[in-house]
Amino acid sequence: MEIFQIVGLALTATLLVVLVRQARGAETALLISLVVGATIFLLLLDRISTVVQVLADLSARAGINQFYLQTVLKIIAIAYVAEFGGQVCRDAGENAIASKIELAAKVLIMVLAIPIIVAILESIMRLLP
């Protein structure tokens, strides 16, 4: 199972980060943490692409406009990237910057969601007499 590989990599990296932080400082430890985070993401890319393909196939069969699927996938991507960036900033001790990343992500998600919200409201208005 892939989760055992990922957790094993993460635990090994955590131990290495703790040891390096004591010996060489926080900068090198942060770099190791970033590399391991990117490696874990790369390990998951195949699974992510599978999920995206399944969702695209389902939306095509259901006759859902691809614009809406693409928007939802962009929103999910923004949420994950912002979470990763925020955690990296927190690992570096920069909580204020992490909060700003989260704020920016929320604003971008709201902007992307506007067309979907408008479509839902238009549908509701058509149903009402």
Tokens standing for residue 57: 């196939």
pLDDT given at position 65? 87
Q: In the prediction, which pLDDT does 24 show?
A: 84
CB atoms within 10 A of CB 33: 22
pLDDT of residue 26: 82
List of the chain residues with pLDDT < 50: none
State the CB neighbour count (10 A cutoff) for residue 34. 14
Q: What is the pTM of this model?
A: 0.79
Burial (CB count <10 Å: 0-12, 13-18, 19+), residue 98: buried
Please return the burial class of 101, using the count of CB atoms within 10 Å of its CB with bins 0-12, 13-18 and 19+: buried
C-beta separation of 73 from 43 below 8 A: no
